[in-house]
Structure 1
Amino acid sequence: MSVWRPEFVAGLDLLAKVSSEMVRRGYSRPVLVGGAAVEIYSGGIVATGDFDIVVARDDVLEQVFIEAGFERPHGAGVATRGWVYRDLGLGFEIVAKVLLDGAADRNRVRMFSVSDDDAFEIISVEDLIADRMGQYASGTAQEMLGQARTLFDLSSDLDMDYLERRIREETSNEHGIATLRSGPAGHVA
């Protein structure tokens, strides 16, 4: 039995198939980032509504999406940046061509296999925590601190030196690991 919602698992399977098709065509796999990556690393504690993807060749991925049966939502009041797959109820959006604007160590990206034939890549948990901290530090997404803390608390074997450096980079040196360890009033736990 999976720790994730059935529709989320279906989305992961679909992403893996699309990713593997990119490789068959001679291109790099897309990298899963954002909320769906948080849902994976949190074991479903934090749920998401979409899959954010980084891929260098968005034109090729969009063609693979079309061939796989994805559609762009259309109609009044519907944003058209993303893609949906039939009745899955989850959106897929290409958010960038370069992982975290080149700040992330590409060698830390992990492979997530869903079968013997299909897999996708996912941002490292350290870079994901740092990204969440950067969004929190911007002042526009206070809930991201909670996500970062959840990931930090659930993750073992973190590279603490790398994590500290990446959080400092993403937050303009305003925050570090101590922020993740501090309580609601900012007191270190």
Structure 2
Amino acid sequence: MTELITGSDGLARPAWAEASDLMRTYYDTEWGMPVHDEAGLYERLVLEAFQSGLSWSTILARRENFRRAFADFDPDKVAAFTEEDVARLKEDASIIRNERKIRAAITNARATVALRDDGGLPDFLWSFQPAETPAPRTIDEVPTTSEESVALAKALKARGFTFVGPTTMYALMSAIGMVDLHLVGSHRRGCSGVWAA
């Protein structure tokens, strides 16, 4: 389905948000809300990278395991991870055991720490906020990249980040409220306060 559906609570959501209680709660309380703290943004960078090629529900169901495995997404702690930590995480069945993504999380923690000398991750990411946000009426109208996500991906790579392609960065931008991809007519459209409904 590409249109909004009305849940048993009478609220309109896209079909993906009605797929489970977990997805509904995420949609209703978190997705698209502004995130401005370093640890919160680093967490979402890591989770979006792990999501690449997988469903978001797969990642969301393991989120607490990821938090445990990656020191509650404290960039300083993850930046200090060693090869022993990589080996440990590769054996941790409670997360996604993809070595490239595990190493990306560590690399991105180090890049996040380094970025503090130039204003920090929050200011850096939010400097790519577009002047306008899309207004999709169906899932088919939801863009997967933008000029800004392409530029952000390029800028992050130049700063040493990995697994930060334009599509992944657009997913991040929507998750943290930088763009509002809630469908027009959804009860969450405009919820971030960043954009008018």
TM-score higher than 0.5 here? no
TM-score by length of 1: 0.29
More strand per residue:
1
Greater relative CO (CA pairs within 8 A, separation 6+) = 2
TM-score by length of 2: 0.28
More helix per residue:
2
